[in-house]
Amino acid sequence: MVEPFPRAFVIGYPVAHSLSPDLHGFWLRRYGIRGSYEKIEVPTENLEEFLKNLQTRNFVGGNVTIPHKEMTYQIVKNRNQSTTRLEAVNTLWVENNILMAGNTDSYGFAANMDDFVSGWRDAKTAMVLGAGGASRAVVLALINAGFEQIFIANRTTSRAIVLVDKMGSRCTAVDWDDIPTCLKQIQLLINTTSLGMKGQHSLEIDLSNLPKSAIVSDIVYNPLNTQLLEQARLLGLESVDGIGMLLHQAVPGFEKWFGLRPKVTDELRKFVLDRLSGDAM
């Protein structure tokens, strides 16, 4: 009998704009793997049924995107520690016939930082802008990397306070208006808000208070060169753009589904960026 080839997916609602099929399709072709990665639009009311039945459809797992990350976390109870801390799932896989849930966003953030600023883990103080799901993943990455003090600033301060309560004593909530003063004390600044994204306002923060040795990172990748990163470069600060987080967060899933750990290369980066600029036309 011919073995069925492994099928993976990304589920969301809507899911049309997901770049994951391009990314995983690139690796499937690059490594000559017989397998598929499909976009599947799943309305919220069908999510539980989809998750229950995926193994009978030969799916080996897949990615979960907006708006299903939190609900998938509630439904799939087999998960690792970092997923439990994030209370959101972006990757599913089957292990010994059991559906497993994980979150690779913290890994993706840290691996991207490792690629561009080898010494970033030596820094001890950071500020994270934003308090949504992406912020939480970045804060966890900073805790895992050994940061001692993490300031969290959000337009809605109450959300920053909730996040601080969840992430522990190394975190401190900061009022949005107090960002300029706080910049003096930090070695790494990360934007996780949607400000700076195509179609959104830019993030209007004066970075001149940052120490000269500070690193500025933006997880926005469309556009790749946000005004925040532009300003950081003009000030001579080290800067890290957001596309690598998207690429690296995909690595553990691909390895689990298709049995090979794929590489994040310049060629992949260029391929995905070309797809993005194509969408912009």
* Member of 82, 125, 193, 239 binding ligand ATR (CB under 6 A): 193
Nearer to ligand ATR, 136 or 256 (CB): 136
Q: What angle do CA 121, 184, 241 make, to 5 degrees?
A: 50
Given the residues 39, 69, 256, 270, the one annotated as active site: 69
Helix (H, G, I), strand (E, B) or coil at 216: strand
Backbone angles phi, psi at 251, to 5 degrees: -60, -50
Is residue 239 part of the contact set for ligand ATR (CB under 6 A)? no
Nearer to ligand ATR, 77 or 155 (CB): 155
Preceding peptide of 180 cis, ω within 30°: no
Supply 127's token pair.
Answer: 């500020």
Cβ contacts of residue 176 below 8 Å, gap of 6+? 153, 154, 155, 157
Nearer to ligand ATR, 10 or 131 (CB): 131
Is residue 195 part of the contact set for ligand ATR (CB under 6 A)? yes
Residue 144 Cβ, how far from ligand ATR at the closest point, in Å? Answer: 18
Specify the length of the chain in residues: 281
Burial of 70 (0-12, 13-18, 19+ CB in 10 A): middle
Nearer to ligand ATR, 33 or 193 (CB): 193
* Member of 19, 23, 110, 131 binding ligand ATR (CB under 6 A): 131
Q: Is residue 69 among the annotated active site residues?
A: yes
Is residue 185 part of the contact set for ligand ATR (CB under 6 A)? no
Map the footprint of ligand ATR across residues 198-227, applying CB under 6 A: 201
Cβ contacts of residue 45 below 8 Å, gap of 6+? none
* Member of 126, 128, 134, 220 binding ligand ATR (CB under 6 A): 134
Is residue 133 part of the contact set for ligand ATR (CB under 6 A)? yes
Residue 43 Cβ, how far from ligand ATR at the closest point, in Å? Answer: 20
Preceding peptide of 252 cis, ω within 30°: no
Is residue 155 part of the contact set for ligand ATR (CB under 6 A)? yes
Is residue 21 part of the contact set for ligand ATR (CB under 6 A)? no
Backbone angles phi, psi at 152, to 5 degrees: -120, 120
Supply 218's token pair.
Answer: 């933006």
Catalytic machinery residues = 69
Binding site for ligand ATR (CB under 6 A): 130-135, 154-156, 159, 192-195, 201
